Amino acid sequence: MHPPHPRLSGGLAEQRALRLLSGRGWTLKVRNWRCRWGELDLVLAKPGRLLLVEVKGRRRCGPDGWGLLAVDAGKRQRLLRAWHCWLADHPELQLWPVEWVCALVPLPPVAGPVRWIRIDGSPGKT
């Protein structure tokens, strides 16, 4: 049996992260938003603040440490450019503080909790 297509696996990982965050009171603003600079997996909001989530789903812990090493300096730069592009379309949110996290989601057959890692270079710190 072949493993699911990476796009499908990514969708499953995003859905799991979204379900957990919704349970914590976050509201989805956008999912899989794309521009020429990159893609934003999830953007969520609570009153007066935003959460930008980069989701990495893995079936095993490979050399990239469940996906964490995939969020390298180049990826962070692309995310930051895409973030600024998204904010240009949403000027009413430009002054809201934002936190940037990576959700490391184990996919079946692996079981385990989602790990939430704050990403350095967060747009809220610029």
Domains of the chain: residue spans and CATH: 6-120 (3.40.1350.10)
Higher-scoring residue by pLDDT: 89, 4: 89
* pLDDT band with cut points at 50, 70 and 90 for residue 1: very low
pLDDT number for residue 109: 74
Q: What is the pTM of this model?
A: 0.81
Cα–Cα distances (Å) from 36 to 33, 45, 51, 82, in that order, read 11, 24, 21, 8
Q: What number is the average pLDDT over the span 56-77?
A: 70
Other Cβ atoms closer than 10 A to 84? 14
Provide the token pair at 78: 């692309």
Asked if pLDDT for residue 65 goes beyond 70, the answer is no
From CA 94, how far away is CA 76, in angstroms rounded?
19
Q: What number is the average pLDDT over the span 112-124?
A: 78
